[in-house]
Structure 1
Amino acid sequence: MTDTTIPGATTASDEGSGRGNDLDELKRFVVAHAISQNLPADHYAPLLDRITTDTGDAPGSWAYEWIRAGDELDAAGQTLAAGQYYVLGRFPFVDGPGRARALERSVDAFDRWRKAEDTGIEPQTVDVDGVPVRIWTAGLSAEEPRPLLVLTGGIVSTKEQWGPLLPQLTSLGLAGAVAELPGVGENVLRYERGSTRLFTAILDTLDGRADVSRTYLLALSFSGHLALRTALADPRIRGIVGNGTPVHDFFTDGAWQRNVPRITRDTLAHLVGVPAGTVYAQLRDWAIGDDELRALDVPFATVSALRDEIVPPGDTARLRRHVSDLRLLEHDDVHGAPGHLAETKVWSLLAVQRMRPDADPAITAGLVAAVEAARAAGATR
């Protein structure tokens, strides 16, 4: 199966965006992403109160209110913060002119910020089976190619949401790339079982300016599933770090699927290009088998949330049973562990460092201390 392009700002969901998202559910889930971007609650909470409809692009609508807040920040010279609000204006996916406008402004704001701040972040275009896919990169050098870390979000987060982390990756002695899952943001590919080609194409494109023979994947949520599949076939991948990774039971357990949040089901349907009512049938053969997990010969570090409402606990149990080099951090939290963001962020970077045979011991020690400090701060909240 090969990747194909998806039509512009349309959705194949027969029960999803055509009648809008469930507004209460949408507001609940966006808070985790607001937290991940360090947005102040006293700013976004009144914004959410002003939103009375998910659809359209008029005052009181989801896209309009997030864009209006972003425009105010942009006018005040806070370009990066403005971009973060625009990103959430297109959440969870583009389903009409309002969210399309939010996506366009988020990309433009990030582009202006990375240039104005001299971040070292540069765009690259990756050819994936003839389809151009834009990514953000940093630390590339033909003279001194560094090990590569590719960072990808899940089914609802764009590269502009995670792009600001790139300078931190280069400070660890890595080249960095931030990409989107197929169908997310500017990535016009269709999300398919065979979408592992995305990662291999990124490595092929950056070969020579990064040491892609030493590649690590920091792959959040559903992109972790794609990363595991890719690592089984591409020996250039030397380790994976995930967070809330669906592996097997999410794709096969019909009873669990009936209680998965509608926003997750509808977003998957949009990315895959099928009606929402049939999406789980389409995904059933995406499950990673036990033999495949046992065949994984690189370390896999992942964060698991004990109250995850998307990924069933059976998937973590399966990883425990079958992955030979599993490094697991568990939080008493919901999907993505938004209440433990600070600890999870530095733990994930530490996990990458510990997978690297060339890691600088001083940097590793600094990350160990940062994890301990974040954990202690969280315990006192």
Structure 2
Amino acid sequence: MTASAVEEELLDELRDLVMLHARAQGLDPGHCRRLLRTIGTTAGFGTGSWAGVWCQEGDCLAERGQYLEACRHYALGRFPYADGPGRTRAQEKCVETFDHWRTEQRGIDRLSVDLPHGTVHCWTAGLSPSSPKPLLLVMGGIVSVKEQWGPLLAAAPALGMAVVVTEMPGVGENTLPYDEDSPAMVSAVLDAVADRADVGRTHAVALSFGGHLTLRRALTDHRIRGVATVGAPLGPFFLDREWQRQVPGTTVATLARLTGTGRGEVLESLRERALTVAELRSLDMSVAYVASLRDEIVPLADVALLRRHVRCSEALVLDDVHGAPAHLDRVRPYLLGRVLAMAGANPLRRAAFGAAHALARAKLALRGTR
């Protein structure tokens, strides 16, 4: 295969995968497809490059004061990870414009947690030393930045919980390595807000590999009382070599980048991270899992394992690909509704938060069209 053919194959895969994240952030699919058609290379930062096209659009939006819309475009410009000057600039502008946007809101703050091997950065809402609330911890997967959770942070006052959103090790601003010790990061974040939130009642919305990391930490940190996740690898993903042969190249490359392992060895190196049957049976907590019938990354065997061995578990299975991008209007209320139910919120509180979250998204969408 020629170099140009390899580049075009890589671009095609990126175009498909990035649409999931575009939809998750509320970007118009037609608008994104128009931008994608102008991209001819994944490298560099010039005209027609991946980072260049997304950043140029982000720059135009930022100049008009549409900071959250700009942030969303920069987030796609750094997709799937910052591997050069172009994507690095996109990552930096993503954080910068989100910071501009959050200063226009009320009660969204920045938190940094320094650890021996790196720093975890977070956005928070609802933390209070005088009135600590149960904690909602939010984390995406291996390509998802914390800035995508702006609408949730904006709607936090209606939630009745404190909110901390962060990123997986090696993703976005998180400078920790993604290794066997990564789950300890979750406990460090809880410790950092223990004086302003009731971390003994922590519930998490943790997606994909973020779900795996959080569930693994829940084995030893019993402050985590419930997890709602989408497409989290548990066991079969890490162990089934036949399945691993069809995992998208972008996923393999991203895991290799985060772990510092060669692409040819990375999946084999992750085998020890599989959750065992004994570990799953020991989870004394609630787990809600959204699975996709056509998931190209995580096999359905993972959710089957969960349902067999985690006592307090439930699953929503949808006819979709990884992350259920075509069903976001169903997935979002399911995840948030299950977390609120796990946390003991009454139906009126859940309905109020659902309305507030929808209103926040509508306001942000309307502002983005002006």
Which residue of 1 is the match for residue 349 of structure 2?
363
Distance 1:365 1:275 in 2: 47
Q: Which amino acid aligns with 1:78?
A: Q
Shift of the alpha carbon at 1:309?
0.4
Shift of the alpha carbon at 1:208?
1.1
Which residue of 2 is the match for residue 272 of structure 1?
259
Distance 2:224 2:235 in 1: 21
**TM-aligned CA distance change 1:368 to 1:181, over 3 Å:** closer
User: What are the Cα deviations for residues 205-238 of structure 1, in whole angstroms up to 9, with x where unaligned?
Assistant: 0001000011011100101001111111001111
Q: Describe how 1:292-303 pairs up with structure 2 within 5 A.
A: 292-303=279-290
**Could you tell which deviates more after superposition, 307-316 or 120-129?**
120-129
User: What are the Cα deviations for residues 151-192 of structure 1, in whole angstroms up to 9, with x where unaligned?
Assistant: 000000111122431122331101000100000001011101
Runs of at least 4 residues of structure 1 off by over 6 A? 18-21, 367-371
Which residue of 2 is the match for residue 320 of structure 1?
307
Distance 1:160 1:205 in 2: 20
Which residue of 2 is the match for residue 12 of structure 1?
none
Q: Describe how 1:207-218 pairs up with structure 2 within 5 A.
A: 207-218=194-205
1:99 to 87, 103, 117: 87
User: What are the Cα deviations for residues 116-159 of structure 1, in whole angstroms up to 9, with x where unaligned?
Assistant: x2231100111223633211111000000000001000000111
Q: Describe how 1:64-79 pairs up with structure 2 within 5 A.
A: 64-79=52-67
Which residue of 2 is the match for residue 350 of structure 1?
337
2:78 to 75, 90, 111: 90
Shift of the alpha carbon at 1:20?
9.6
User: What are the Cα deviations for residues 31-70 of structure 1, in whole angstroms up to 9, with x where unaligned?
Assistant: 0110011111232111100000001111000000000011
User: What are the Cα deviations for residues 292-346 of structure 1, in whole angstroms up to 9, with x where unaligned?
Assistant: 1011000001101111000011111111110101121111000000000011101
SS in 1 for 2:155: helix
Aligned: 1:47 with 2:3:
no
SS in 1 for 2:21: helix
Which residue of 2 is the match for residue 34 of structure 1?
22
Q: Which amino acid aligns with 2:260?
A: G
Shift of the alpha carbon at 1:21?
7.8
User: What are the Cα deviations for residues 60-84 of structure 1, in whole angstroms up to 9, with x where unaligned?
Assistant: 0000000001111112221110010
SS in 2 for 1:276: coil
Distance 2:285 2:177 in 1: 28
Which residue of 2 is the match for residue 241 of structure 1?
228
Aligned: 1:334 with 2:321:
yes
CA contact (8 A) 2:306 2:313 kept: yes
Task: Show structure 1 runs of 5+ residues with no match.
Answer: 1-17, 372-381
Shift of the alpha carbon at 1:19?
7.5
1:287 to 243, 268, 274: 274
SS in 1 for 2:270: helix
Shift of the alpha carbon at 1:367?
6.8
Which residue of 1 is the match for residue 298 of structure 2?
311
1:252 to 239, 252, 266: 239
User: What are the Cα deviations for residues 93-136 of structure 1, in whole angstroms up to 9, with x where unaligned?
Assistant: 01100000000000000000000x22311001112236332111
Distance 1:130 1:56 in 2: 30
Which residue of 2 is the match for residue 232 of structure 1?
219
SS in 1 for 2:264: helix
Distance 1:21 1:190 in 2: 29
The TM-score normalised by the length of structure 2 is 0.92
Shift of the alpha carbon at 1:366?
5.3
Percent identical pairs in the alignment equals 49
**TM-aligned CA distance change 1:231 to 1:21, over 3 Å:** farther
Distance 1:333 1:36 in 2: 14
Distance 2:304 2:355 in 1: 29
Q: Which amino acid aligns with 1:216?
A: H
CA contact (8 A) 2:288 2:314 kept: yes
Q: Which amino acid aligns with 2:80?
A: P
Which residue of 2 is the match for residue 375 of structure 1?
none
Distance 1:242 1:370 in 2: 22
Task: Show structure 2 runs of 5+ residues with no match.
Answer: 1-5, 358-370
Q: Which amino acid aligns with 2:133?
A: R
**TM-aligned CA distance change 1:163 to 1:273, over 3 Å:** farther
2:47 to 59, 80, 83: 59
The TM-score normalised by the length of structure 1 is 0.89
Which residue of 2 is the match for residue 15 of structure 1?
none
User: What are the Cα deviations for residues 236-283 of structure 1, in whole angstroms up to 9, with x where unaligned?
Assistant: 111111000100010011110000000000000000011111101110
SS in 2 for 1:348: helix
SS in 1 for 2:233: coil
SS in 2 for 1:259: coil
Distance 1:211 1:167 in 2: 20
CA contact (8 A) 2:117 2:177 kept: no
CA contact (8 A) 1:147 1:211 kept: yes
